[in-house]
Amino acid sequence: MSNEQQLDNSVKFRPDYQWPDKDAERDCPKCNNSMQRQEDLPEYYGKPWWCHTCQWQFSEEELND
């Protein structure tokens, strides 16, 4: 966290996704291959799950549907 953080409040690009546990594992709903869990980093704006096969991101919310 930097002191500049408060200046960024008006420009919040990062969606508030539910993030999986560090040891969580998920299979892709499209191809059933295991997906890669992304790190929950402040500069990462994508969804937590990445399927290399489909080249597609998934959120926990989508997977729980």
The Cα 33–Cα 58 span in angstroms is: 13
When asked if residue 28 is in the footprint of Zn ion (CB under 5 A), the reply is yes
Q: Closest distance between Zn ion and the C-beta of residue 15, in Å? A: 21
> Do residues 47 and 59 touch, judged by C-beta distance below 8 A?
yes
- Choice between 19 and 63, CB closer to Zn ion: 63
36-55 positions binding Zn ion, by CB under 5 A: 51, 53-54
Rounded Cα gap, residues 57 and 65, in angstroms = 15
- Report in angstroms how near the CB of residue 53 gets to Zn ion at its nearest: 4
Beta strand 56-58 with 36-37 is unpaired
**What is the contact surface with Zn ion in residues (CB under 5 A)?**
28, 30-31, 51, 53-54
